[in-house]
Structure 1
Amino acid sequence: MMTSILTGIGLLLLFEGLGPLLMPKGWQQMLRLLSDQPAEQLRRIGGSLVVAGTVILWMVSRW
């Protein structure tokens, strides 16, 4: 179980780091655009990501 959690965290960090590493200017622009969004829009985006992640984890656990 701990190996799976650490693997997941490692993959998350790897993919999160690709944006700033490969496209720093585009990454900055995206963050500026996101910071200009209303809080409710950001909440919807966050909720959608949580639901998508939960569904993916559920599907993987059933596989």
Structure 2
Amino acid sequence: MLHTLFIAFAIVLILEGIGPMLFPNKWRNYLQQMVEQPVNQLRSVGGVLVTIGVVSLFFLI
């Protein structure tokens, strides 16, 4: 079980690193746009992403 969690974490790190590695200027612009968003909008987007993740895990397990 712990081994599977480490594999999942490694995959997340790989996926998160692809954007800045391949498109650093676009990634910087994207982050600048994120900084300018209202906090409530960021919280809503985060909530939707967490909900999608939990529902996906529910159906995959």
TM-score range, shorter chain: over 0.9
Q: Deviations over 1:20-39 (max 9, x none)?
A: 00000000000000110000
Identity of aligned residues (%): 36
Q: How far apart are residue 52 of structure 1 and its match?
A: 0.9
Amino acid at match of 1:29: N
Give the match for residue 50 of structure 1: 50
Name the CA distance, whole Å, in 1 between partners of 2:12 and 2:26: 19
Q: How far apart are residue 59 of structure 1 and its match?
A: 1.2
In structure 2, runs of 5+ residues without a counterpart are none
* Number of corresponding residues: 61
In structure 1, runs of 5+ residues without a counterpart are none
Is 1:33–2:45 an aligned residue pair?
Answer: no
Name the CA distance, whole Å, in 2 between partners of 1:55 and 1:14: 23
SS of 2:37's equivalent?
Answer: coil
Amino acid at match of 1:60: L
Please give the TM-score of this superposition, normalised by the length of structure 2: 0.95
Name the CA distance, whole Å, in 1 between partners of 2:27 and 2:57: 27
Q: How far apart are residue 57 of structure 1 and its match?
A: 1.1
Deviating beyond 6 angstroms after TM superposition, the runs of 4 or more aligned structure 1 residues are none
